[in-house]
Homo-oligomer: A and B are copies of this chain.
């Protein structure tokens, strides 16, 4: 289960864009010089060629298989990032007079709420904002007539994650940008899933969207051609020139993920990494986790020290050891260790070793 994919000496804990398997980098670089022996770079390959159509078809099919999607769930690769989807979701699903239910569990959820209000009513059914988003609300009700319920399954900045997906009779929409394909879920319970690729599935510049086609086409608003999911379904994500290379990097990452054993194996690896990190954190009083233990994210571990001078000193220690991207987001401070699929257990072992050593010397 140990995966060696880190360039010698570097441990990339970036929150996104973030670490990808080293084999993906090697194959992507090769494809830029010569795609499959064609004499052409993947960057100059026409998207209407059988070569690229095969890339798109395989990427789609791998997502379907890895997520165990049923026949009604369509897989799209679209330009943009999750921020684009904050707009595109209500544009497609929410009529002017209708209400959508949103959970306010972090900055990204709050941004999604802001965009929804441009298209209809956005009712915030729960919020942990008053505590700087340190927990996932457990007790809330969703109006029966809400057109959909929107959740952010993992909150990258704060380090919280929905451990159980809320049961709802409403259409369920999820921003899974920072934990897609990292754990086993019944993905068919979701009617729409979107994820910027740059954390678990590829490089920045493409969105994965999984949508139950039965929820589409129910609103009165005319939708711009490029924003209407139905057009992208019909055209197989080739309504316009797709982000060819970004889709190809997704394909390489998905192939790697399948070769590792799929989502269940990723979940085991991610559990092992998170357990090691949080157990270390809880054993060292000099460090302090910032969120409710039961809501801790397995993707992004956020922790602080009470003395800013010590934080600076530990950042220096990390830097000297080749650890990248460990500095916390400005809205929380301290540290954030992002442990996406492609981050190895070895990298977490290096980090926790430094934490223990630092605590012994300075604690």
Q: Which residues of A contact B (CB under 8 A)?
A: 7-10, 12, 14-20, 24-26, 28-30, 32-34, 39-41, 43-47, 79-84, 86-87, 91, 111, 114-115, 118, 196, 198, 203-206, 222, 224-227, 239-246, 249, 322, 324-325
Task: Indicate if the CB atoms of B79 and A9 lie closer than 8 Å.
Answer: no
A118 to chain B, nearest CB (A): 5
Contacts of A242 in B (CB 8 A): 204-205
Task: Indicate if the CB atoms of A20 and B44 lie closer than 8 Å.
Answer: yes
Task: Indicate if the CB atoms of B83 and A80 lie closer than 8 Å.
Answer: no
* CA of A325 to CA of B16, assembled, Å: 36
Task: Indicate if the CB atoms of A17 and B205 lie closer than 8 Å.
Answer: no
Task: Indicate if the CB atoms of A25 and B41 lie closer than 8 Å.
Answer: yes
* CA of A20 to CA of B80, assembled, Å: 23
Instruction: Show 9 A/B contacts (Cβ-Cβ < 8 Å), sorted by A.
Output: A7-B34, A25-B32, A28-B43, A29-B29, A39-B322, A80-B80, A118-B222, A118-B224, A245-B246
Task: Indicate if the CB atoms of A33 and B40 lie closer than 8 Å.
Answer: no
Task: Indicate if the CB atoms of B17 and A45 lie closer than 8 Å.
Answer: yes
- Interface-central residue, A18, A20, A225, by most chain B CB under 10 Å: A225
Task: Indicate if the CB atoms of A111 and B225 lie closer than 8 Å.
Answer: yes
* CA of A225 to CA of B113, assembled, Å: 12
Given known contacts A7-B39, A206-B205, is B83 in contact with A240 (CB within 8 Å)?
yes
- Interface-central residue, A17, A87, A111, by most chain B CB under 10 Å: A17
* CA of A29 to CA of B32, assembled, Å: 6
Contacts of A16 in B (CB 8 A): 46, 241
Task: Indicate if the CB atoms of A241 and B28 lie closer than 8 Å.
Answer: no
Q: 4 closest pairs, A vs B, by CB?
A: A205-B243, A83-B240, A87-B224, A79-B80
